[in-house]
């Protein structure tokens, strides 16, 4: 027991300090995404707290940070707007429709965990993963450019003159501290130190720059101060719980659930690579789903894993669940007791931290290997990066997987071969090489000359594998062609599972399958294929 506690406590200092850094970075992100979705800043902050805490405790990836994200917020915009239109002016039904959608989203995600669908993230090819990382780095970078705007007469316009140079200088100073501090000592969290130093310069120097507080007020909020999340009892009376409501929120919930799970599981894989450890994808599905259900019930906008904050956490030394717990609880303490202090933190310091995250996230090696990898992989990498920026993560990853699967199928379809020999007794033997599946059926059929073949034909599958129903159907048709022509065909060296499938589908095929095979190669191959 002592050894267990000692191992868990060994990294406690790094976890606590990285958790504090993440909490500071979470504030403007949660507020910004709430504005994007068209809801009050506290709705985003409550989501960051509740989702962050629940997934930190129960999630499948220690060290990963979850909260309100931009990928979900952009989908929520239309949901909130259409929900508001369903009620009278001033009712703000869009917010309650959002809560209901987040609850349904959580239920869908938990079902994905129960059905163990999280394991399918392993099917995502490496070029898709690199494209995802690069695309998200670009998205994070572009999202920070909005911080270089100021509100004039109620409109957001780009900064200019001294204000712009002040912003650039503070951002550069933050990045310089984060770059230089690790070269002096690795015992201090560079992101937290950079935020504190730049904040002290702004406060003590009485500099007129954008802060967290001014950012909230410019967006229409009244400040960071709030209380504990409250159970939304009015949710069940504000909107009708009927089939029409389900038809309205169902598609949104499905899209949000898919985006949330894909972003979370992809981030989980990335953190696995950075830490050289292994997380549980199905457990993460369950935790994300449960967190969103509770968030919806207590007035949060829902969320998923945040790649930027997760990387900040990992780079700052956070490795265990403690870092995520500290970040979530600290965020709540900010809301309850330290709102005045947090509102004084300059936006430039947080932008500088996020720019360093962008630099650390982007897979710069992709430029070096782009002309060394297959053209299809290069196309997938670029396509996923572009689609992530243009549309969203879910569309980009799904498109990347589809392109990779089609390329794989096409390449394997070209590998089907048939070596033709004639035995002494006149029997013609077709030795099939390569996988037989839906993509290679046409090439497979072209190998045979039913009309001109002799009376006896053997088809040898020792170097081939029958992969799907399309391949079975092709064999059925081929056998029927030979039998119609009055010729005898024998299938040799079929794997056990293939023989069972064929006989089950058409019992008469048992007559053309050779069971008594005296070939040591066949028994070795049969064991390998099991």
pLDDT digits (tens, 9 = 90+) for 321-378: 999 999 999 999 988 888 888 788 898 988 888 888 788 878 888 888 888 888 889 9
Q: What is the pLDDT of residue 10?
A: 64
Cα torsion through 395, 400, 406, 410, rounded to 10: 160
Q: How confident is the model at residue 527 (pLDDT cuts 50, 70, 90)?
A: very low
Q: How confident is the model at residue 528 (pLDDT cuts 50, 70, 90)?
A: very low
pLDDT average, residue stretch 134-142: 83
Task: Please give the Cα distance from 388 to 396 (Å, whole number).
Answer: 5
pLDDT at 219 > cutoff 70:
no
Q: What is the pLDDT of residue 522?
A: 42
Please give the mean pLDDT across all residues of the chain: 85
Closest to 52 measured CA to CA, from 63, 42, 43? 63
pLDDT at 295 > cutoff 80:
yes
pLDDT average, residue stretch 501-516: 77
Report the topology of domain 414-529.
Transcription Regulator spoIIAA (3.30.750)
pLDDT digits (tens, 9 = 90+) for 205-218: 999 898 888 877 77
Q: What angle do CA 362, 171, 188 make, to 5 degrees?
A: 75
Task: Please give the Cα distance from 106 to 72 (Å, whole number).
Answer: 13
pLDDT at 5 > cutoff 60:
no
Task: Please give the Cα distance from 133 to 415 (Å, whole number).
Answer: 33
pTM above 0.85?
no
pLDDT average, residue stretch 116-122: 80
Q: What is the pLDDT of residue 8?
A: 56
pLDDT at 521 > cutoff 50:
no
Share of the chain above pLDDT 90, in %: 36
Cβ atoms 77, 70 nearer than 8 A: no
pLDDT at 481 > cutoff 90:
yes
**Can you give the residue ranges of every domain in the chain?**
2-364, 414-529
Q: What is the pLDDT of residue 2?
A: 52
pLDDT average, residue stretch 170-186: 91
Q: Convert 164-188 to b/e letters by CB count within 10 Å (16 or more is b).
A: eebbeebbebbbebbeebeeeeeee
pLDDT average, residue stretch 133-157: 82
Enter the DSSP assignment of 304: E
Q: What is the pLDDT of residue 519?
A: 52
Cβ atoms 486, 451 nearer than 8 A: no
Q: What is the pLDDT of residue 523?
A: 43
pLDDT digits (tens, 9 = 90+) for 344-355: 889 898 888 888
Interacting residues of 341 by C-beta distance below 8 A, sequence separation 6+: none
Q: What is the pLDDT of residue 176?
A: 96
Q: What is the pLDDT of residue 16?
A: 92
């Amino acid at each position: 027991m002592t050894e267990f506690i000692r191992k868990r406590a060994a990294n406690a200092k790094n976890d606590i300090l990285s958790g504090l850094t993440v909490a500071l970075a979470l504030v403007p992100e949660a507020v910004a995404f709430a504005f994007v979705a068209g809801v009050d800043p506290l709705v985003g902050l409550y989501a960051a707290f509740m989702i962050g805490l629940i997934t930190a405790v129960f999630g499948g990836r220690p060290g990963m940070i979850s909260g309100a994200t931009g990928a979900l917020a952009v989908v929520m915009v239309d949901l909130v707007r259409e929900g508001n239109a369903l009620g009278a002016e001033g009712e703000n039904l869009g917010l309650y429709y959002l809560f209901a959608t987040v609850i349904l989203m959580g239920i869908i995600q938990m079902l994905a965990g129960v059905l163990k669908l999280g394991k399918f993230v392993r099917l995502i090819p490496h070029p898709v993963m690199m494209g995802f990382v690069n695309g998200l780095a670009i998205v994070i970078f572009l999202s920070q450019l909005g911080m270089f705007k100021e509100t004039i007469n109620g409109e957001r316009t780009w900064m200019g003159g001294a204000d712009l140079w002040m912003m650039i200088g503070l951002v550069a100073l933050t990045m310089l501290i984060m770059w230089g501090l690790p070269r002096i000592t690795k015992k201090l969290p560079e992101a937290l130190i950079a935020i504190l130093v730049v904040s002290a310069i702004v406060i003590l120097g009485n500099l007129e720059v954008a802060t967290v507080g001014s950012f909230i007020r410019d967006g229409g909020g009244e400040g960071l101060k709030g209380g504990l999340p409250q159970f939304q009892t009015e949710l069940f009376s504000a909107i009708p719980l009927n089939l029409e409501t389900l038809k309205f929120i169902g598609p949104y919930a499905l899209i949000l659930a898919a985006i949330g799970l894909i972003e979370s599981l992809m981030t989980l894989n990335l953190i696995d690579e950075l830490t050289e450890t292994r997380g549980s994808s199905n457990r993460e599905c369950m935790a994300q789903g449960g967190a969103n259900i509770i968030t919806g019930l207590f007035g949060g906008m829902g969320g998923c894993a945040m790649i930027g904050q997760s990387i900040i956490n990992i780079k700052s030394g956070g490795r265990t669940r403690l870092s995520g717990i500290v970040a979530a609880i600290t965020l709540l303490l900010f809301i309850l007791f330290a709102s005045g202090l947090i509102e004084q933190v300059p936006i430039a310091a947080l932008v500088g931290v996020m720019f360093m995250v962008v630099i650390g996230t982007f897979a710069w090696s992709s430029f070096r290997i782009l002309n060394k990898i297959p053209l299809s992989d290069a196309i997938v990498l670029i396509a996923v990066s572009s689609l992530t920026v243009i549309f969203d993560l879910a569309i980009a990853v799904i498109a990347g997987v589809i392109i990779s699967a089609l390329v794989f199928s096409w390449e394997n379809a070209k590998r089907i071969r048939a070596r033709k020999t004639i035995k002494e007794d006149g029997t013609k033997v077709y030795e099939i090489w390569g996988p037989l599946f839906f993509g290679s059926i046409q090439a497979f059929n072209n190998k045979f000359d039913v009309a001109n073949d002799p009376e006896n034909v053997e088809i040898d599958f020792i170097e081939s594998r029958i992969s799907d129903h399309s391949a079975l159907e092709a064999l059925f048709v081929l056998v029927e062609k030979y039998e119609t022509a009055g010729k005898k065909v024998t299938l040799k060296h079929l794997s056990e599972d293939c023989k069972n499938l064929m006989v089950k589908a058409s019992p008469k095929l048992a007559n053309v399958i050779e069971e008594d095979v005296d070939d040591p190669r066949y028994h070795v191959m049969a064991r390998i294929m099991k």
